[in-house]
Amino acid sequence: MEAWIGLMSGTSMDGIDAILVSFEGQRIRIHATHTTDYPADIRRRLINLSQNRGTPDDLGELDHTTGSLFALAATSVIEKSGLPLTSIAAIGSHGQTVRHQPDRSAAFSLQIGDPTLIAERTGITTIADFRRRDMAAGGQGAPLVPAFHKAFFSASDEDRCILNLGGIANITHLPASEEAVVTGFDTGPSNALMDAWCQHQTGRAYDKDGAWAEEGSVDQSLLGDMLSDAYFSRQPPKSTGTEKFNLEWLKTLLKRHPDLSGADVQRTLLELTAVSVAQQIPHAPGMTIFVCGGGARNRVLMRELQRTCSPSRIASTAELGLDPQWVEPAAFAWLASQTLSGRPGNLPEVTGAIGERVLGAVYYA
């Protein structure tokens, strides 16, 4: 048996999800999972760095610190699994994105979490830096998980859409027809913007179950201002992040809406995610939308998505055999297997790259 580790930390910057899996045809066998939370001060420094509030020393120190935490997450999931190191082929580490600027003339995407530390401390070959090769070929470098979705979640008898509700929301449309093109892109903000507003207003890191949002009401005027942002009407390929959809973006819009309560703003942010997804998602008769990512645990958001995306059915990727929390970590385990096998990991029709590319850099144990 050949096993792989996937390490993922998204734009919400709350911690590192680690999964140890093996791939058996189209079946994913999970041996163990583990989450390593970021300490509050590290999360604060990462958020500051992502908003260009940091020095080269901060960048270097956080690259080392997060690399150490990624290595800890990997060793922890190995210990939980009980598998011998010799059965683990490689680690695929997404790293921690601190800046993603795919639309500049000098486009770049920066992930930290020193992979040399991961390889050194685990004794396992580590693949990282997955996004830049796609960008070198003219792509957005994101989203990369649609290739994994296509490999494991496609069905010949059903149109499916995989909706990842992470810090940013992204979709993958998987048509039933094998001749049809798989499409995917970032639709806009999701948890990161709601989390930032919740932290700013209440001191809580996130709005559990959407309970605070449920206390408020949607302000249609603010929602309209948000949806007027050019990103939502832009044609794919496209990707975005907290570089654009952040607390300062929201505060600028709120200057025109000074009398709204904190809960009303939170509810309107939740509605922004639900509506922007519904407006951009391809709708096909009988299509099911399978949700993954942290937003799948937001009861109110899931309810509102069912309303805005009707008549499509909203379901969890758990129905497809993979819990919502572990889809993206599993994807980077699979991407590592693609890289070591010399197979491409991107979908050019999704990222906009000029062709398929083998992704990532390999750091041998």
- The answer to whether residues 293 and 310 belong to one domain is yes
Encoded tokens for 247: 């607390």
Residues 215 and 297 in one domain: yes
Domain span at 211: 146-320
Specify the pLDDT at position 25. 85
122 and 9 housed in the same domain: yes
State the CB neighbour count (10 A cutoff) for residue 168.
29
> Is residue 178 predicted with pLDDT exceeding 90?
no
Q: DSSP 3-state assignment of 282?
A: coil
Percent of the chain exceeding pLDDT 90 equals 96
User: Could you tell me how many residues make up the chain?
Assistant: 365
pLDDT-derived band at 180, boundaries 50, 70, 90: confident
| Claim: this prediction has a pTM higher than 0.75 | yes
Known binding positions: 10-17
Specify whether 329 is located in the same domain as 222: no
| Band (1; pLDDT cuts 50, 70, 90) | confident
> CB of 333 within 8 A of CB of 33?
no
Tokens of 267: 């509810």
User: Same structural domain for residues 211 and 174?
Assistant: yes
Using CA atoms, how far residue 289 sits from 121, 292, 327, 338, in Å, is 40, 10, 15, 26
What is the chain's mean pLDDT, rounded? 96
Same-domain pairing of 211 and 248: yes
Query: Based on the domain organization, do 219 and 302 belong to the same domain?
Result: yes
In degrees, rounded to 5, the angle at the alpha carbon of residue 129 between the alpha carbons of residues 144 and 115 is 135
Residue numbers in the known binding site for ATP are 10-17
CB atoms within 10 A of CB 243: 17
pLDDT of residue 80: 98
Say yes or no: 238 and 301 in one domain: yes
pLDDT at 56: 97
Q: Are residue 163 and residue 303 in the same domain, yes or no? A: yes
Total domains in the fold of the chain? 2
pLDDT of residue 177: 80
Is the domain of 204 the same as that of 92?
no
**341: CATH:** 3.30.420.40
Average pLDDT over residues 27-39: 97
pLDDT band at 285 (very low <50, low <70, confident <90, very high): confident
At residue 315, the 3 state secondary structure works out as: strand
**HEC readout, 40-64:** HHHHHHHHHHHCCCCCHHHHHHHHH
Span 64-88, average pLDDT? 98
Count how many Cα atoms sit within 13 Å of the Cα of residue 97 in the half-sphere of its side chain.
26
Evaluate if residue 26 carries a pLDDT over 90.
Answer: no
d(CA 175, CA 285): 11
What is the spatial distance between Cα 42 and Cα 326, in angstroms, rounded to a whole number? 23
Looking at the structure, tell me whether residues 151 and 119 fall in a common domain.
no
Question: Please, are residues 244 and 187 in contact by the beta-carbon 8 Å criterion?
Answer: no
Instruction: Check pLDDT > 90 for residue 41.
Output: yes
Are 309 and 220 spatial neighbours (Cβ–Cβ below 8 Å)?
Answer: no
The band of 314, judged by pLDDT with boundaries at 50, 70 and 90, is very high
Same domain, yes or no: 190 and 83: no
